[in-house]
Amino acid sequence: MFIQVPKGTQDILPDDAPKWYYIENKIREVLTKYGYQEIRTPAFEYTELFIRGIGESTDIVTKEMFTFPDRKERSLTLRPEGTAPVVRAYLENNMDRASKVVKLFYIGSMFRCEKPQGGRFRQFNQFGIEVIGTKSPEADVEVIMAALEIYEKLGLKNLEIVINSVGCKKCRVDYIQKLKKFLSNKKDLLCLECVKRYEKNPLRVFDCKKDSCQKIMETAPMITENLCPECKLHFEEVKSHLDDFKIKYHLDPKLVRGLDYYTKTAFEIVGKGLGAQNAIAGGGRYDDLVEELGGKPTPGVGFAAGIERMIMVMNQQKINWPKPKCIDIFIVKVSAENKDTAFRLLQKIRNSGLSADLDYSNDSLKSQMRIANKIGARYTAIIGEEELSKDMVTLRNMQTKEQKKVKLDEIEKELKKGSGLNI
Ligand code: HAM
């Protein structure tokens, strides 16, 4: 029995890899247009970063982190998300000195020890953006628009934006009191976890997936009705810009998101008909995070999107993937004696900028042609005694089956200029 991939992880096989770079190229193209620069942070960080950044009472920190000691017993954690690492890098590299507003994007693997199921993995990939240094509601709308443009360019349809405001430190003090009061005589109806959440951070009860807790929360006081004037105005402005751009959204006062750093705007983009794991992106504003991680008070806003979930939607919606580029020329030897010439020619063709390959074995011409067909080579260049005596190859268009003799050093020219072979 051979060793298998760890639970919740998967291989991206060669047939699927082109889908990934197609998506990654689109992400880079759109985000560069919006003025974002790419950042790559390590796959693991000191655990403290996530405890402080994401919040002690969140599911991610209490149950889902892959945490391990290094050889000096310092606690490390595989990054479960990208925002806290990006803010850490922003602070550590004094990025605020270069510009007041810093706009970053990332694409990479994240790790959460969750129960694997459709659309939920233990290693998954996100792309995300972070705008650090502005409290303008326009920035909130820009990040939503950038996400939507990427989805649109990739052809995704039937997406819905769900939006809320979770207020700020100021308005939350009174609100949490209200929420606690509301829950105080319902504690024995809450699940055990929510009883703990009630003590540590009652807002998290909104995040519970259990029907019984969700039912209780339906009649709970909502944060949107308890916003301070500044948060209220900010939320009004965000909605008004969305209306202005004719971006449809659905208001959900119960949306609190699974990370504690959010302030003001919180949003998710969901794929309709995707089932339980329907959030393909989530984000919001985090105006206290930079300060919480040791920096000066600096506002921020961003989102992250799951790439596996995006591919699921694209497959479900039968979006046409671009055809992967096939090899230009497969060299076929008539006999083993032509091996050295074939090898030299192979490298020459590659040096000219065309893609080329050959079968290094001494298998029959028929078997080599079979390989050429299988890999979808556009042309085969057949080398035999007759061809070599004239410094030529027989170039065969694998689609039309037409053949033509071409001088060795003119193959590239032939392919590029177009010949009677519909090249
Ligand atoms: P999040 O909602 O935890 O937010 O994750 C963002 C997206 O990552 C989800 O909407 C989903 O598509 C994908 N995702 C999360 N967990 C899994 C999983 N186990 N398997 C597959 N996909 C998953 C964040 O991570 C925040 N850092 C977003 C953010 C950026 N907020 C502000 N800036």
Q: What is the three-state SS of 345-387?
A: HHHHHHHCCCCEEECCCCCCHHHHHHHHHHCCCCEEEEECHHH
304 Cα to the center of ligand 1, angstroms: 5
User: One digit per residue, pLDDT tens: the chain, 423 residues?
Assistant: 999 999 999 999 998 999 999 999 999 999 999 999 999 999 999 999 999 999 998 999 999 999 999 999 999 999 999 999 999 999 999 999 999 999 999 999 999 999 999 899 999 999 999 999 999 999 999 999 999 999 999 999 999 999 999 999 999 999 999 999 999 999 889 999 899 889 888 998 998 889 999 999 999 999 999 999 999 999 999 999 999 999 999 999 999 998 999 999 999 999 987 777 789 999 999 999 999 999 999 999 999 999 999 999 999 999 989 888 899 999 999 999 889 989 999 999 999 889 999 999 999 999 999 999 999 999 999 999 888 888 899 999 998 999 999 998 888 888 876 544 444
CA distance 257 to 274: 18
Helix (H, G, I), strand (E, B) or coil at 264: strand
pLDDT at 270: 95
In sequence order, what are the residues at sequence separation of 6 or more whose Cβ sits closer than 8 angstroms to the Cβ of residue 247?
141, 144, 145, 148, 161
pLDDT at 146: 98
pLDDT at 142: 98
E strand or H helix at 144: helix 137-153
Beta strands in 53-201 (DSSP E): 67-69, 75-78, 102-111, 123-132, 159-165
404 Cα to the center of ligand 1, angstroms: 55
Helix (H, G, I), strand (E, B) or coil at 319: coil
| Any ligand 1 atom below 6 A from CB of 128 | yes
| Any ligand 1 atom below 6 A from CB of 280 | yes
104 Cα to the center of ligand 1, angstroms: 17
Indicate the pairing of strand 356-358 with strand 329-333: parallel
pLDDT at 135: 98
Domains of the chain: 17-168+228-316 (3.30.930.10), 329-416 (3.40.50.800)
* Closest atom of ligand 1 relative to the 82 alpha carbon: 27
Say what the pTM is. 0.92
Residue 123 has φ and ψ, to the nearest 5°, of: -120, 120
pLDDT at 417: 63
Among protein residues, the one with the nearest Cα to ligand 1's atom 30 is 303
